[in-house]
């Protein structure tokens, strides 16, 4: 199984402001940044094989899905 993706210039629908970067519609030189920040580099994650991190993003995804169903 393989997948490829070739883009010459990728843009977003709306302008985005990312701290430390100029406001832009382009992904190039700005990158894709998460709307919700979850810190994986914590002692709790290290000691529990990432359980709090996984619980955090699972809770976020489930909340988003539920909000779209209403």
34/12 Cα distance (integer angstroms) = 14
Average pLDDT, the chain: 85
Q: What are the structural domain ranges in the chain?
A: 1-33, 35-70
Kindly report, residue by residue over 26-56, the tens digit of the pLDDT: 777 676 677 788 899 999 999 999 999 999 9
Q: Which residues pair with 16 in a beta bridge?
A: 24
Rounded-to-integer distance, Cα 70 and Cα 66, Å: 7
CA distances to 21, 27, 32 from 7, in Å: 22, 11, 14
- At residue 10, the pLDDT reads 76
């Amino acid at each position: 199984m393989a997948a490829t993706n070739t883009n010459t210039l990728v843009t977003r629908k709306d302008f985005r402001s990312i701290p430390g970067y100029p406001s832009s519609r382009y992904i190039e030189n700005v990158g894709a940044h998460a709307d919700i920040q979850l810190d994986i580099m914590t002692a709790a994650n290290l000691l529990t094989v990432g359980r709090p991190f996984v619980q955090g993003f699972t809770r976020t995804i489930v909340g988003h899905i539920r909000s779209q169903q209403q």
